[in-house]
Every structure is written in C-alpha cells, then in structure tokens.
Amino acid sequence: MYQPNDKFTQKAKSQGYRSRAIFKLEEINNKFKLITVGQNVLDLGAAPGSWLQYCAKIVGPRGKVIGVDISPIKNLPQSNIKTIQQDIFALNSLMDQWKNKFDVVLSDAAPATSGIKIADSSRSLALVEQALKIANQVLKKQGNFCVKIFMSPEAEKFYQQLKKYFLKTYRFKPHTSRNNSKEIYFIGLKKKN
C-alpha cells in the first residue's frame, strides 16, 4: 500500500533531499559505482531533483550534472547543476552539442500511470527506449547507464537489447523501492563504443 510519509520519505526530508528516490540511486551507486568524482552526468526525468542533489555531491565541483524534465525543477543551490525544462522526446537540438560529453546517463523517468497495465508498460517502454537512444548519442566510450522500467515481457526484450551496447548489464531492484512497485532498474556499464 502506498505510504506518502514512510520512513524513507521522512529520512529524505530530514537530510534535505527532495524525494525518497535519492536512496534508490545511492543504493545503486554503492553497488555498481556508476558515478564518481569529476564526471559529467545527464539525468533524464530529473524532477523534483533528489538525484541531481546526490549526483552533484558525488561528482564534486569538477563535475557537472544536467537534469532534464518536462516538469519544472525548482532551483538547486549547487553550482555544478543545470536544469532544462523539456520533454526528453524533444532533445534533438541538444544532441549534437552533447555528443560524447557524458560519463553517465540516468533515467528515473516514469510515465503518468493510468492503472491500465498494458498502457502503462507501453509508456514505460517508450521512455526507456528514448533514454537509451539519448545515451547512445551522448555517452562517452566506457560510459555508464541506469534506467527505471516497469516489468513486462517487453522489458525483458529491452534488457537483451541493452547487452548490445554495454560490456556488463544488470537488473536491480533497490531495497528502497516500495514492495508493491513493478519498477526495476537496468544498468549498463562500460559503453562499448
């Protein structure tokens, strides 16, 4: 059952983070070492900004973090964060500028859910396919990728596709994901070229 004020939500608030999602990324990064000091990170579906806050802390002043979301992201004080309000399906104008510029691409984007399982899975798949398309253009060789997806037979096909582009791939469900959530994270390490 959805609990808007569970212990992770309270912990996020007490530590100054904008959402409980911070702890998912922290757990993923502790396990897979996606993000390190001095890197450039692109966060797709970045609102409300807790992943940006976490990444800015990890990459430090020599790194940069860019967050993109269709919803506005309230200003964050860290000087190494830049936000762009835009649909991730409409980033074509930035793709050339960003070619091979990022060490990490993250996507915690989720579709507006309807409660209709097939429709929600289809929207989730479209988002992750777009995130991978962007990652293939903007990631440096050896770059890392992490994307949230709702489990479905199509998600498994997407996971197999991911293997074409990264030397190592993993499926991971953080402990901080809600028990009834169908979300899982697919991780691609070391982009092949």
Catalytic residues: 148
Residue 184 pairs in a beta bridge with 149
**What is the 8-class DSSP label of residue 88?**
G
Are 71 and 47 spatial neighbours (Cβ–Cβ below 8 Å)? yes
- Return the percent helix, strand and coil in the chain, to nearest 5: 35, 25, 35
Pairing status of strand 183-191 against strand 166-172: antiparallel
Q: What single-letter DSSP state applies at residue 163? A: T
